[in-house]
Structure 1
Amino acid sequence: MAVVDSPDLFEPPAPVPRPYPPSKLEIIRTVLRNPLELWGVPSYTLPWIETRFFGRTTVIVNDPNLIRHVLVDNAGNYVMDKVRQLVLRPILRDGLLTAEGGVWRRSRRAMAPVFTPRHARGFARQMLEKSEEFAARYATTDAQGTVRDIAADMTGLTYLILSETLFSGEIATDGDDVAGDVDALLHHMGRIDPLDMLAAPGWIPRLARLRGRHVLRKFRALVRTTMEKRKAAIARDPQSAPRDFLTLLLEVEGPQGLTTEEVEDNILTFIGAGHETTARALAWTFFCVANCPDIRDRMEAEIDAVLDSGADPVDWLERMPLVRSAFEEALRLYPPAPSINRQAVADDRFEAPDGTALDIRKGATILIMPWTLHRHELYWENPRAFDPSRFLPENRERIGRFQYLPFGAGARVCIGATFALQEAVIALAVLMRRYRFDTTAETRPWPVQKLTVQPAGGLPMRVTARAAVSRP
């Protein structure tokens, strides 16, 4: 797709593609500092690139047909990449994001009933209640507004929603503490260490992650306490125990289902990562919308109309197409999971529709990069600009299934995609109904890749009651 310059569109901050290849030393420094700054012009302009990092063949994949080949058509030939697992498994162990083989299949099968679209719609009322509860925290905002770190706030909000919907409020703690703990966990435990890049065995300590161990121990202790309390409640009266995600996991604990450790791993996965991705995307949405007054005005009008009509929150996702589109566009520009890593089990060959072909060697690392794919000049018009109109109903069919991957694709597609979209639209509607979110002189976010794409240093924004905002 041709790139068309449009001075009227807002281009949020992002690294400029490198004009030349980095040296090995630059690769190490950049990966440790911010992997998003590593990618060069070819990554944003070519369908695929074959290169070598530290003696390992790596294929950077952007072509949607090749992505489908790897994730769907020949998925059996591609397993989780070793480097990715070296980073994530110390945190999540056999949680759904990191488990493989039979363990992954058992976990996925156990959780699937909770995350069907029909079941997810049943969480709408709880999502609304927690969003309104959170919005009340801004109630003291006056005509001058209050500056808040929206990145931290959204982590607190999505944690409240996750706690209420999947755990019936039994893991709820102070939102600010959770935001800080999650940030510390991802900052220290979710970063790549030089030993990971060299594929050193996992038993060798990673100095970059040592400082995060106490936070990880804190989260695991929280999970164990939560499990023990629920088990005791079930033992006392099985009928009165909440029928939520936690109970469902505990019911499949045993010889034919999940081990106690696997149940713990999956609970930690959802506590530590399940809400984090939505939180980051919400924060980026508020930032982008604040820089597009016309889009914000139209979103507010759409929200006001739907809420004034008394529509059930179950229907907000379908009745607020612009709000949903703004969130999905933020997901495009700042995909919470910026890379999908695989490794080839055997030699493979991909033949593109245009006749070109790619031979993939056994052991090659495959990098499917939503970060570069979503900003790719072959597949998007004005790829660096914030333009929610791409995702409006009349335009959605132009976006290929494997061109836009905020939730992944194939068998390992994010199980909570519908849950996240519904949660985001409800949260945006509740907060934007009552407040305006504006940038300040200190609002200078820079995207940094940890486990998710985060604004370095937070995202300070001025929150003002809409009733106090002068309108034309």
Structure 2
Amino acid sequence: MDMISRPFEPPAPVPRAQDLSKFEVLRTVLRNPLELWSEQSYTLPWIETRFVNQQTLIVNDPGLIRYILVENVANYEMSEVRRLVLRPILRDGLLTAEGATWKRTRKAVAPVFTPRHAKGFADKMLSTCEHYAGRYDRAVDTHGVVDIATDMTELTYDILAETLFSGQIAAETESFTRDVETLLGSMGRVDPMDMLLAPSWVPRVTRWGSGKLMRRFGTVVAATMEERRRQMRAHPDTVPQDFLTLLLEREGPDGLHADEIADNILTFIGAGHETTARALGWTFYCIAHAPEFRALMETEIDRVIGNGTDPVDWLENMPHVRAAFEESMRLYPPAPSINRAAIEADSWTSPTGERIDIAKGVSVLVMPWTLHRHTLYWERPRAFMPQRFMPGNRESLHRFQYLPFGAGPRVCIGATFALQEAVIALGVLMKTYRFDVTPQTRPWPVQRLTTQPQGGIPMRVTRR
């Protein structure tokens, strides 16, 4: 693999050398769960441990991951801790629903993400990015610094609103994106009461004050649904055939309930753009420290856009841009943990004959954060080396050693949407502008619902 000699190692917690007491574990979970993991988590294929009050299996072996998430997926449900964290926000949205509710919702949502919608998505992504890019002219003229993390949250919200809701979310963009960020930052964190598996009615100190925001979101979602219903009744031939319409067309006794539709709207408005936004912010930060690779990206962008390539084909025609984004998702996975629990006792035997028994009720952690930085599966795992994902290198990766979108039946339904969105956003912005770090650019990864940069990512914008 053609690697540069001294690649950039972006900031991340150093693996712990010593075990933590129960109190220290709870304190670290409250502050930043990414700081929990020991050296063993980054070097062993699996670890059996007791985590607070729960017997826990931490899984890094790609074969065992495939077994749990695909081959015997029916035996593994969302863990209780994960439910306690996510359900207060997303309720029965696609990310948190189980059983028959999840199957009905997945079937209802799937048509939105078929290939025939790709071109329409790409065109709207392009126009939204071009419109957003104009705001950087003033920053350039004033030698200004922007927080690229906040900007990408706003941009991906604009894209989601235009593509999946045809610009008809009943909220003002800037204040609403701030509300989304606040909500996911507070309610998306693990509370000590979650770790202790306390019932959901027990107050969570870390989420005090979030009720007002949730009620505000409920008002926005209800208004958005009612306005679209009105359009469907009054102008059925011209109503947009988007995500919102498809959900409402499936409303009824044999389809989705109104509350389930509202939950999925909230899921996609919130988590649907937050994940891509975080990955884009980290990408701009990492490539600023890799000027040689950034130059290759810029050359590629100039050629593809200069040739008038249809934006739906940018993903295929910009391998350097895609590789940088995928490497950023390796180092800073948008969803840093996948939490499951064994419904019944189970066992798995590796190709080399090692057997592991999994007791009923055991909590199973598949951790993209540790898996993506694991010494058994990656060369120089802490370094930013996007060449790993270039054609010719990417094919050597095991399907289950890289899980930015999860895997199995519950793999992220919008994965291709997110990749296309990211490449178009990077292409449009990098065609005209360059983003560089400043002395104040010191992001620190913290785990909330996503891997967020504490302190933001301030960057100076210049015109290329």
Q: TM-score, normalised by structure 1?
A: 0.96
How far apart in 1 are the matches of 2:384 and 2:116? 31
Q: What SS does structure 2 have at the residue aligned with 1:448?
A: strand
In structure 1, the partner of 2:113 is: 115
Return closer, same or farther for 1:260/1:414 CA change in 2, 3 Å cut-off.
same
User: Which structure 2 segments of 5+ residues have no match?
Assistant: none
What does the per-residue CA deviation read over 1:64-90, in whole Å, with 9 as the maximum and x for residues that have no partner? 000001001111110010000001000
In structure 2, the partner of 1:414 is: 412
Tell me if structure 2 keeps the 8 A contact 1:59–1:364. Answer: yes
Return closer, same or farther for 1:370/1:182 CA change in 2, 3 Å cut-off.
same
Q: What SS does structure 2 have at the residue aligned with 1:215?
A: helix
Q: What SS does structure 2 have at the residue aligned with 1:342?
A: strand
Return the letter of the residue paired with 2:322: R
Tell me if structure 1 keeps the 8 A contact 2:25–2:52. Answer: no
In structure 2, the partner of 1:383 is: 381
Alignment of 1:145-184 (within 5 A): 145-171=143-169, 173-184=171-182
In structure 2, the partner of 1:199 is: 197
Which residue of the other structure, out of 191, 211, 214, is the alignment partner of 2:212?
A: 214
In structure 2, the partner of 1:43 is: 41
Return the letter of the residue paired with 2:18: Y
In structure 2, the partner of 1:92 is: 90
Deviation at 1:218, TM superposition (A): 1.2
1:289 aligns with 2:308: no
How far apart in 2 are the matches of 1:121 and 1:357? 47
Q: What SS does structure 1 have at the residue aligned with 2:128?
A: helix
How far apart in 2 are the matches of 1:393 and 1:296? 17
What does the per-residue CA deviation read over 1:9-63, in whole Å, with 9 as the maximum and x for residues that have no partner? 0000000000111111110010000000000000000000000022311000000
In structure 2, the partner of 1:402 is: 400
Q: What SS does structure 1 have at the residue aligned with 2:340?
A: strand
How far apart in 2 are the matches of 1:400 and 1:118? 29
1:66 aligns with 2:64: yes
In structure 1, the partner of 2:127 is: 129
How far apart in 2 are the matches of 1:316 and 1:180? 30
In structure 1, the partner of 2:26 is: 28
Deviation at 1:240, TM superposition (A): 1.4
Return closer, same or farther for 1:44/1:105 CA change in 2, 3 Å cut-off.
same
How far apart in 1 are the matches of 2:214 and 2:385? 38
In structure 1, the partner of 2:138 is: 140
Tell me if structure 1 keeps the 8 A contact 2:438–2:460. Answer: yes
How far apart in 2 are the matches of 1:377 and 1:55? 29
Deviation at 1:7, TM superposition (A): 5.4
In structure 2, the partner of 1:470 is: none
Which residue of the other structure, out of 206, 218, 225, is the alignment partner of 2:223?
A: 225
In structure 2, the partner of 1:469 is: none
How far apart in 2 are the matches of 1:7 and 1:200? 50
How far apart in 1 are the matches of 2:293 and 2:389? 13
How far apart in 2 are the matches of 1:39 and 1:429? 36
How far apart in 1 are the matches of 2:171 and 2:453? 24
Which residue of the other structure, out of 183, 188, 196, is the alignment partner of 2:186?
A: 188
In the comparison of the two structures, how many residue pairs are matched? Answer: 464
Q: What SS does structure 1 have at the residue aligned with 2:81?
A: helix
Return the letter of the residue paired with 1:451: L
What does the per-residue CA deviation read over 1:313-353, in whole Å, with 9 as the maximum and x for residues that have no partner? 01100000000000000000000000000000011011011
RMSD: 1.5
Tell me if structure 1 keeps the 8 A contact 2:53–2:196. Answer: no
How far apart in 2 are the matches of 1:396 and 1:411? 23
In structure 1, the partner of 2:80 is: 82
How far apart in 2 are the matches of 1:162 and 1:178? 13
How far apart in 1 are the matches of 2:322 and 2:206? 38
In structure 2, the partner of 1:368 is: 366
How far apart in 1 are the matches of 2:445 and 2:327? 15
In structure 2, the partner of 1:348 is: 346
How far apart in 1 are the matches of 2:113 and 2:26? 39
Q: What SS does structure 2 have at the residue aligned with 1:386?
A: coil
Return the letter of the residue paired with 2:249: E
Deviation at 1:435, TM superposition (A): 0.4
Tell me if structure 1 keeps the 8 A contact 2:171–2:220. Answer: no
Tell me if structure 1 keeps the 8 A contact 2:279–2:333. Answer: yes
User: Which structure 1 segments of 5+ residues have no match?
Assistant: 467-472
Q: What SS does structure 2 have at the residue aligned with 1:464?
A: strand
In structure 2, the partner of 1:392 is: 390
Q: What SS does structure 2 have at the residue aligned with 1:57?
A: strand
